[in-house]
Structure 1
């Protein structure tokens, strides 16, 4: 048995396997980029102005499932809007401001 020939064949097989893995990673990256572009197109940008009534999303509700419980809390009033989607909310029954980031939606009244 020629060990050098067998060793060379094994190295070739390992290189082919590594190339297949790299191709799979590249294809996965390209797929994720395309899906992100499609997803970003469907996102609706919402602009809030001071005085708007909004509902606040409670992300912890996923941990406590309940059929009749809403994940939206409110209404809150937008007090101040800052850059990059940051805004300050106030609740009618509380005096402190809540600082929020892109986690509210317009309330349907």
Structure 2
């Protein structure tokens, strides 16, 4: 058994393994960049101004008191006179609310007898 030939072969194997590992890191970085670009392309920017009325999924309306950096919005609740901060992606613009009295109700009647549907 020749130890020098075995040592050279082992070094070549290690070098080949290192090249494969570096290529895998490079491919993972490229994949992450493309995925991030795709995700960022589909994000809708929300531009709020002070005084706008906003709502969350279940509550509202709230008034925008201040816009902070990194998407933070400080809201004022007129019902309880409190202010709080929320992520700007968690709220939507408030366009008004129709009370149940204002909602139009349409009743479907049966077709007159003798007519086929």
Q: TM-score, normalised by structure 1?
A: 0.71
Uncovered stretches (5+) of structure 1, i.e. residues with no partner: 57-71
The one of the two structures with greater contact order (alpha-carbon pairs below 8 A, sep at least 6) is 1
- Which has the larger helix fraction? 1
- Would the aligned equivalents of 1:74 and 1:91 in 2 still touch at CA under 8 Å? no
Aligned to 1:67: none
Change (3 A) 1:20 1:108: farther
Asked whether 1:40 is paired with 2:40, we answer yes
Higher strand share: 1
On the 8 A contact 1:50/1:78 being kept in 2, the answer is yes
Q: Hey, what's the Cα distance between the residues in 2 that align with 1:86 and 1:102?
A: 6
Shift of 1:98: 1.2
Distance of 2:93 and 2:36 partners within structure 1: 25
Deviations 1:61-89 (A, max 9, x none): xxxxxxxxxxx342122112245533210
Q: SS at 1:94's partner residue?
A: coil
Q: CA deviation at 1:3?
A: 1.1
Tell me by how many angstroms 1:37 deviates: 1.2
**The 10-residue stretch of structure 1 (77-86 or 11-20) with the greater mean CA deviation from structure 2:** 77-86
* Moved >4 Å (runs of 4+): none
Q: State the TM-score, normalizing by the size of structure 2.
A: 0.67
Q: Is the 8 A contact 1:54 1:74 kept in 2?
A: no
1:21-66 deviation line (CA, Å, top 9, x unaligned): 110111110111111112111111111122222234xxxxxxxxxx
1:89 aligned partner: 75
Secondary structure class of the residue paired with 1:21: helix
